[in-house]
Structure 1
């Protein structure tokens, strides 16, 4: 799994965050997506990296601007019992 951290300019409220999250969910198969207007970024968790240009196109169509793109490995956090019993 990977985590894509996408810098996004132009979010001003919770509806802006939701608009971007919905656009990403509708365009790609992702495990999770969350946006933060205060951090000016959207975090996307997926099995494989999504090409920067594809993400940029989807976000640009919503009226916001991609300012950065970074991919890093992601490991799902284990639940309490999984940590206890392995």
Structure 2
């Protein structure tokens, strides 16, 4: 996951896009994000809120980053367990 919208092109940020006559700035959709209980997944899903403040052309970078993070979280579920420290059973 990236921080501070590093993957979002400057042109896609709402603050950098001048409003044309009669056009409104991007508005949040107000969609509720229900926590999953998995901190890593919840962090990626929460990042979707960043897209609320971007113009449509800035959404792609956020969606791709979230998709990559969620895919990595799913892939980690298939990884073999990491062995714990050797336990001396004498």
Tell me the TM-score normalised to structure 1 length: 0.26
The higher radius of gyration belongs to: 2
Larger relative contact order (CA 8 Å, sep ≥ 6): 1
Q: Whose helix proportion is higher, 1 or 2?
A: 2
Tell me the TM-score normalised to structure 2 length: 0.26
Q: Whose strand proportion is higher, 1 or 2?
A: 1
